[in-house]
Structure 1
């Protein structure tokens, strides 16, 4: 029965998709969504095409696994095509530089071709469903994410949720993976957008991803930073971004980070430290900067050479190597009793201590759990919009704002057990504690 229902889900979506995309885009037809760049290198084509495809499909209410599978299939077809008609002439400045030649493509026409490939995949699958079907639940049960600009003039945060990391990137080694990341930009949003678009693609291309994930993660950060350096030089971009990324790989949780965005784990209601954020005032970071000939100065907050308030970041090339692009990574084995992982930018962690998080999350779950039928995922108005736990990130962001944060705030909660199970466990613990008090 499940297989029949899954087939119907796929057929229904493909039918709706083709109704809205009845014919290929012509050379003069506008794109339904703007691409991220006007010019794209061959190295950037994968990330930018996948980003465009996911943005388009995510508006169509399809299962995330199906979205990922279609984007991967369309990208594979795009990369087989002759892209030479889209090549741009090499610019004079680039010709005079010492770097190796970078082939640049016109983004709009090449992305028009990608979207037509995406449509071709939809047509082919509508006529003959792929086997196995690219749908089905991930063991990464739910991710609650929310972000606000707050009182800042611009929103410079970006976040990425990829429960179907393998499907999107084409990995078929039998190890289940989910990827989640938060990027906090400064001096503009370009670096944060770039990292959110390319880091996971670079990570998927590391040969040692399964055998040595820490090195793979660090290399992916370095590769992303190097790619951004080329784009920043070509387009005169000036910005930077901290970043924290989580890879759930089999029974392991791997966290890599640059700067002061953070991730934490909660296991049976207790907060577990996964990392030490890079801040200029951290003694080893201060020593590293000073050994390079730089300095840490207090100007409202501690700053590297009196400029940036972070000591490691993607971008910020005017302050490299003082602002380092070298990521750190930690690995934690999961035992099945973990509740969730939380990722957030400093707009959250500057006003909320990690030790406060478990009680805050339980408070939201309790409030929702008071609705009739909430533990079954349906009931009163608050729960009818989705399953229990969906609003957790939104409430955490609201709490941080009320606590005095004026920065951009992004919070992501990746549940490792069903929220209903966490609430039942809390209710059981409360009942035991109440019974114990009564006996005393």
Structure 2
């Protein structure tokens, strides 16, 4: 294909604010260069990068633990690139179980987890919870994750099949997300299938030069803003100053202006050193007029 020569160059910015809440329970991680971060011997393809957004609840224990350990767990399960998706699923399960076993962490603490692993041109998103990853493709928003809200049709069916209930959008009347790591006070026994799932949905995409950036944000952003609006802001900002950090600050500022009720965490990852180029609208030099022969 015309873009088989595309080699992404990863750079990122982030912004994390408490918003109107009393406590800050979000965490995030940005690794623009995996082989540098893990050591050359790790055998990760270059360019490689890793990003995560973790929206905690019931204290920060689960979010902080997951942020500190999830990449390590992914690397441990990484046998070959064909096994990437399996490695991600296993890492989420491992983090979830480690939270059950940890003596010094609050077992009723939980967190959503949204991760983006970049290996060359391959972008693999894993998501459990209601944070969201959105790709900016020449100005179009492409959602690469689904929000796991208890009320969404597929989650509702899964929850009810396992004997869970949804009251007023809350799983078992307790939790506004349908998937999370931790929350062992709700899950009960390890190994039992539970309405609150820790299993991520995993989505793989091959990047082309049409793909300009990825936005990762917790629900504090998406509760007040459409994916397309966020992409439009980021693209406009990048064309002005090419700084992903400033893009994140702009999104957070806009969400606060729109009265979000939550903590705000946003990560923007660019796939090229250059800013996006203006979108060319094909100009036709002929004035369109209805002619007689077009009518029969």
Normalised TM-score (structure 1): 0.59
In structure 2, what is the Cα distance between the partners aligned to 1:362 and 1:333?
20
Larger radius of gyration: 1
> Structure 1's 139 and 274: CA in aligned 2 closer, same or farther, altered over 3 A?
closer
* 2:30–2:51 contact (8 Å) kept in structure 1: yes
Structure 2 equivalent of residue 331 of structure 1: 204
Higher strand proportion (structure 1 or 2):
2
1:154 has 2:23 as partner: yes
In structure 1, what is the Cα distance between the partners aligned to 2:70 and 2:47?
18
> Structure 1's 157 and 437: CA in aligned 2 closer, same or farther, altered over 3 A?
farther
In structure 2, what is the Cα distance between the partners aligned to 1:245 and 1:438?
49
1:196 has 2:63 as partner: no
1:394 has 2:263 as partner: no
Among 182, 185, 189, the alignment partner of 1:315 is: 182
Structure 2 equivalent of residue 176 of structure 1: 47
> Structure 1's 361 and 438: CA in aligned 2 closer, same or farther, altered over 3 A?
farther
How far does residue 436 in structure 1 lie from its aligned partner after superposition?
A: 5.9
Among 243, 254, 258, the alignment partner of 2:124 is: 254
In structure 1, what is the Cα distance between the partners aligned to 2:255 and 2:57?
20
Among 205, 213, 222, the alignment partner of 2:76 is: 205
Identify unmatched segments of 5+ residues in structure 1: 1-137, 370-386
Q: Deviations over 1:306-331 (max 9, x none)?
A: 00111110101111122111111010
Map residues 279-358 of structure 1 onto 2, 5 A cutoff: 279-298=149-168, 302-320=169-187, 321-358=194-231
> Structure 1's 318 and 235: CA in aligned 2 closer, same or farther, altered over 3 A?
same
How far does residue 283 in structure 1 lie from its aligned partner after superposition?
A: 1.6
Structure 2 equivalent of residue 163 of structure 1: 32
* 2:244–2:268 contact (8 Å) kept in structure 1: no
> Structure 1's 348 and 177: CA in aligned 2 closer, same or farther, altered over 3 A?
same
* 2:52–2:116 contact (8 Å) kept in structure 1: yes
Structure 2 equivalent of residue 13 of structure 1: none
Q: What is the number of residues matched between the two proteins?
A: 274
Among 236, 242, 262, the alignment partner of 1:407 is: 262
Normalised TM-score (structure 2): 0.86
In structure 1, what is the Cα distance between the partners aligned to 2:45 and 2:53?
26
Give the secondary structure class of the aligned counterpart of 2:72: helix
In structure 2, what is the Cα distance between the partners aligned to 1:163 and 1:243?
19
Q: Deviations over 1:120-170 (max 9, x none)?
A: xxxxxxxxxxxxxxxxxx953420210100110011000100112233234
Greater length-normalized contact order (CA 8 Å, ≥ 6 residues apart): 2
In structure 1, what is the Cα distance between the partners aligned to 2:71 and 2:121?
19
Identify unmatched segments of 5+ residues in structure 2: 1-6, 188-193, 289-296
Higher helix proportion (structure 1 or 2):
1
In structure 1, what is the Cα distance between the partners aligned to 2:260 and 2:266?
13
Give the secondary structure class of the aligned counterpart of 1:322: coil
How far does residue 362 in structure 1 lie from its aligned partner after superposition?
A: 3.0
How far does residue 402 in structure 1 lie from its aligned partner after superposition?
A: 0.7
Structure 1 equivalent of residue 190 of structure 2: none
* 2:27–2:54 contact (8 Å) kept in structure 1: yes
How far does residue 357 in structure 1 lie from its aligned partner after superposition?
A: 1.9
Q: Deviations over 1:44-77 (max 9, x none)?
A: xxxxxxxxxxxxxxxxxxxxxxxxxxxxxxxxxx
* 2:117–2:125 contact (8 Å) kept in structure 1: yes
In structure 1, what is the Cα distance between the partners aligned to 2:155 and 2:165?
10
